[in-house]
Structure 1
Amino acid sequence: MPVRTPEWVKDAVFYQIFPDRFARSKRLRHPRGIHFKPWGSPPEEQGFQGGDLLGIVDRLDYLQELGVNALYLNPIFQSAANHRYHTYDYYRVDPLLGGDAALRELLQEAHARGIRVVLDGVFNHASRGFWPFHHILENGGDSPYVDWFYIHGWPLHPYPPDEKTPPNYGAWWGIPALPKLNVANPGVRDYLLDVAEYWIHFGIDGWRLDVPEEIDDEAFWQDFRRVVKRANPDAYIVGEIWHDAQEWLQGDRFDGVMNYGFSRAAFGFFGAQTLRTDYKPGGYELRPLDAPAFARAVAHLLSLYDWEVTQAQLNLMDSHDTARLLWTVQEDEGAARLCVLFQMTMPGAPCIYYGDEIGMSGASDPYCRAAFPWHDRGQWNEALLDFYRRAIALRHRYPVLRRGDLRILYAQGQTFAMLRHLGREAAVIVFNAGNQQATLRLEDLHPLPEGTRLQDVWGEGRDVVVQNGSLSQVTVPARAARIFMAHP
Structure 2
Amino acid sequence: MSTSLPDDVTSAGSATSPREVVALAAHHDGSEVYVPGGTPALGDVVPVRVRVPRLPGGPAAQVRSVWLRTVRDGEPRLSQARLEREDEDESWYVADVLVHNPVTSYRFFLDVPGGYQWLNGRGVFDRDVPDAADFRLTVHPPAPSWMGDGVVYQVFPDRFARSAEADDRPVPDWAQPADWDDEPLAGGPGVGTQYYGGDLRGIEEHLDHLQALGVGTVYLTPVFPGRSNHRYDASTFDHVDPLLGGDEAYASLSRAVHARGMRLLGDLTTNHTGAGHEWFERAHADASSAERDWFYWTPGEPGYVGWLEHASLPKLNYGSPTLGARMIDGPGSVVGRYLGEPFSLDGWRIDVANMTGRYADEDRTLEIARRIRATMTEVNPDSVLVSEHFHDASLDLAGDGWHANMNYSAFTRPVWTWLAPHDSSVPFLGLPVTTPRRGGRSMVETMRDFDAVLPWAVTSRQWNMLGSHDTPRLRSIVGSAEMVEVAATLLLTYPGTPVMFAGDEVGLTGTNGEHARVPMPWGRSERWDSDTFEVYRRLVAMRRASRALREGGLRWLLVDDDAVAYLRETTDERVLVVVARDAWAGARLPRHLLTGTEPERLYGELGLEVTAEGLDLAGDGPGVGVWRIG
TM-score (norm 2): 0.70
Whole-Å separation in 1 of the counterparts to 2:507 and 2:171: 35
Larger displacement relative to structure 2 (12-21 or 39-48): 39-48
Q: Which runs of 5+ in 2 are unaligned?
A: 1-101, 103-138, 359-363
**What is the aligned-residue identity percentage?**
31
Change (3 A) 1:106 1:465: same
Change (3 A) 1:142 1:153: farther
Structure 1 partner of 2:335: 196
The one-letter amino acid paired with 1:200 is: L
What secondary structure is seen at the aligned counterpart in 1 of 2:249? helix
Structure 1 residue 274: Cα displacement? 5.2
Structure 1 residue 31: Cα displacement? 4.8
Structure 2 partner of 1:3: 140
Normalized per residue, which structure has more helix?
Answer: 1
Structure 2 partner of 1:206: 347
Normalized per residue, which structure has more strand?
Answer: 2
What secondary structure is seen at the aligned counterpart in 1 of 2:236? strand
Whole-Å separation in 2 of the counterparts to 1:459 and 1:336: 13
Q: How many residues are paired up? A: 468
Structure 1 partner of 2:203: 56
Structure 1 residue 380: Cα displacement? 0.8
Change (3 A) 1:346 1:356: same
Pairing 1:207-246 to 2, within 5 Å after superposition:
207-214=348-355, 215-216=357-358, 217=364, 218-246=366-394
Q: Is 2:615 the partner of 1:471?
A: yes
Structure 1 residue 464: Cα displacement? 4.5
Structure 1 residue 9: Cα displacement? 1.4
Of 115, 121, 124, the match for 2:268:
121
Of 477, 487, 490, the match for 1:342:
490
Whole-Å separation in 2 of the counterparts to 1:334 and 1:10: 25
Of 545, 554, 566, the match for 1:406:
554
What secondary structure is seen at the aligned counterpart in 1 of 2:312? coil
Of 15, 25, 28, the match for 2:163:
25
Deviations 1:57-86 (A, max 9, x none): 101001100111111111001212110000
Whole-Å separation in 2 of the counterparts to 1:149 and 1:244: 27
Whole-Å separation in 2 of the counterparts to 1:376 and 1:395: 29
Structure 1 partner of 2:236: 89
Q: Which runs of 5+ in 1 are unaligned?
A: 155-165
The one-letter amino acid paired with 1:172 is: W
Structure 2 partner of 1:293: 442
Structure 1 residue 421: Cα displacement? 1.2
Change (3 A) 1:32 1:152: closer
Partners of 2:294 and 2:323 within 8 A in 1:
yes
Structure 1 residue 404: Cα displacement? 1.1
Q: Is 2:146 the partner of 1:146?
A: no
Structure 1 residue 222: Cα displacement? 1.3
The one-letter amino acid paired with 2:600 is: Q
Whole-Å separation in 1 of the counterparts to 2:339 and 2:432: 34
Larger displacement relative to structure 2 (16-25 or 456-465): 456-465
Of 557, 563, 579, the match for 1:431:
579
Structure 1 partner of 2:533: 385
Whole-Å separation in 2 of the counterparts to 1:420 and 1:93: 42
Partners of 2:399 and 2:457 within 8 A in 1:
no
Structure 2 partner of 1:14: 152
The two structures, once aligned, show a CA RMSD in angstroms of 2.3
Change (3 A) 1:32 1:227: closer
Partners of 2:506 and 2:528 within 8 A in 1:
yes
Whole-Å separation in 1 of the counterparts to 2:468 and 2:607: 37
The one-letter amino acid paired with 1:306 is: P
The one-letter amino acid paired with 2:227 is: A
Change (3 A) 1:187 1:444: farther
What secondary structure is seen at the aligned counterpart in 2 of 1:225? helix
Whole-Å separation in 1 of the counterparts to 2:238 and 2:407: 29
Structure 1 residue 28: Cα displacement? 5.4
What secondary structure is seen at the aligned counterpart in 1 of 2:587? strand
The one-letter amino acid paired with 1:112 is: A
Whole-Å separation in 2 of the counterparts to 1:24 and 1:364: 23
Of 397, 401, 416, the match for 2:564:
416
Whole-Å separation in 2 of the counterparts to 1:284 and 1:7: 38
Structure 2 partner of 1:482: 625
Whole-Å separation in 2 of the counterparts to 1:137 and 1:7: 44
Change (3 A) 1:466 1:117: farther
**Max radius of gyration: which structure?**
2
The one-letter amino acid paired with 1:398 is: S
Q: Is 2:311 the partner of 1:176?
A: yes
Partners of 1:409 and 1:443 within 8 A in 2:
no
Partners of 1:79 and 1:85 within 8 A in 2:
yes
Of 135, 150, 165, the match for 2:282:
135
Structure 1 residue 232: Cα displacement? 1.2
Structure 2 partner of 1:102: 249
Partners of 1:453 and 1:464 within 8 A in 2:
no
Whole-Å separation in 2 of the counterparts to 1:313 and 1:175: 30
Partners of 1:3 and 1:306 within 8 A in 2:
no
Partners of 2:218 and 2:265 within 8 A in 1:
yes
The one-letter amino acid paired with 2:298 is: H
Partners of 1:455 and 1:464 within 8 A in 2:
no
Structure 1 partner of 2:604: 459
Deviations 1:362-401 (A, max 9, x none): 1213211121111422211111111111111111121211
Whole-Å separation in 1 of the counterparts to 2:166 and 2:218: 21
Deviations 1:330-354 (A, max 9, x none): x233222211110001111111111
Change (3 A) 1:304 1:466: farther
Whole-Å separation in 2 of the counterparts to 1:410 and 1:379: 38
Structure 1 residue 41: Cα displacement? 2.6
Partners of 1:406 and 1:418 within 8 A in 2:
yes
What secondary structure is seen at the aligned counterpart in 1 of 2:604? coil
Whole-Å separation in 2 of the counterparts to 1:304 and 1:185: 33
Change (3 A) 1:143 1:485: same
What secondary structure is seen at the aligned counterpart in 1 of 2:427? coil
Structure 1 residue 288: Cα displacement? 2.4
Whole-Å separation in 2 of the counterparts to 1:32 and 1:175: 28
Deviations 1:89-127 (A, max 9, x none): 112110111111111111111111111111111011111
Partners of 2:607 and 2:625 within 8 A in 1:
no
